[in-house]
């Protein structure tokens, strides 16, 4: 079945639900787990006067690293050994590239429900990942009981 599972993780409730589902699958399949957090650089954003873009990037890196450590700790609490990785490119590209690199059998991502404007403005990672993924993709949807 699944021997290597790549879990994309950003610390959000949707991705915590995906982490739980991926962890359950990993336990069932006795699979290796790779946890990927992606840093999307804020340095390309226009910055108001008085704000140092390097400070924003450093803070973003700290936050993403903390999400990654949190995810690894959640997996360890379930008795799962996981390797953490940081990515620095577009999330879809980074997830697909990492899946190829590790030889993943499954990618697990969370799904965020968005309104019409959000769907128009921001691309869907899970939808775009389906077009470029080298393996199966599980898109986890947040359930009301997962929100706690």
pLDDT computed for residue 118 by the predictor: 52
The top-scoring range by mean pLDDT among 14-18, 65-69, 131-135 is 131-135
Residue 114 has a pLDDT of: 58
Bigger pLDDT: 51 or 14?
14
User: Which of helix, strand or coil describes residue 138?
Assistant: strand
- pLDDT 10s digits, 34-58: 999 988 755 444 555 555 555 555 7
Decide which of 122 and 90 is more confident.
90
User: What is the average pLDDT score of the chain?
Assistant: 82
Q: Is the dihedral of CA 107, 109, 115, 121 positive or negative?
A: negative
Cα 27 to chain centroid, rounded: 19
- In the predicted model, is pLDDT for residue 95 greater than 90? yes
Domain that holds residue 125: 4-147
Sheet holding 106-111, edge to edge: 82-87, 32-38, 4-8, 106-111, 136-141
pTM for the whole thing?
0.79
Q: Which CATH number covers residue 88?
A: 3.40.50.620
Give the pLDDT score at 143. 62
State mean pLDDT over 96-115.
88
User: Of 22-26, 58-62, 115-119, where does mean pLDDT reach its minimum?
Assistant: 115-119
Q: Taking Cα atoms as reference points, which of 68, 89, 91 lies closest to residue 10? A: 68
What is the per-residue pLDDT across 112-141, written as a single tens digit (0 to 9) for each? 665 555 544 556 677 789 899 999 999 988
Report how far residue 86's alpha carbon sits from residue 36's, in angstroms, rounded to the nearest whole number. 6
Give CA separation, 74 vs 10, 120, 135, in Å.
Answer: 13, 33, 25
Specify the residue for token string 């450093």.
Answer: 58
Which residue in the block uniquely carries the two structure tokens 């953490």? 84
CB 38 within 8 A of CB 95: yes
CA distances from 46 to 14, 114, 122 (A): 28, 24, 17
Tally the domains of the chain.
1
């Amino acid at each position: 079945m699944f021997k290597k599972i790549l879990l994309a993780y950003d610390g959000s409730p949707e991705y915590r639900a995906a982490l739980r589902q991926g962890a359950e699958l990993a336990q069932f399949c006795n699979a290796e787990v790779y946890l990927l957090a992606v840093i999307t650089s804020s340095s390309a954003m226009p910055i108001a006067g008085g704000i140092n873009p390097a400070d924003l990037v450093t803070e973003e890196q700290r936050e993403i690293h903390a999400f990654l450590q949190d995810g690894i700790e959640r997996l360890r609490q379930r008795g799962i050994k996981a390797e953490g990785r940081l990515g620095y490119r577009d999330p879809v590209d980074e997830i697909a590239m990492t899946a190829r690199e590790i030889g993943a059998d499954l990618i697990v991502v969370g799904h965020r429900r968005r309104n019409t404007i959000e769907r128009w403005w921001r691309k869907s990672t899970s939808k775009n990942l389906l077009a470029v993924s080298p393996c199966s993709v599980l898109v986890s949807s947040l359930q009301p009981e997962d929100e706690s």
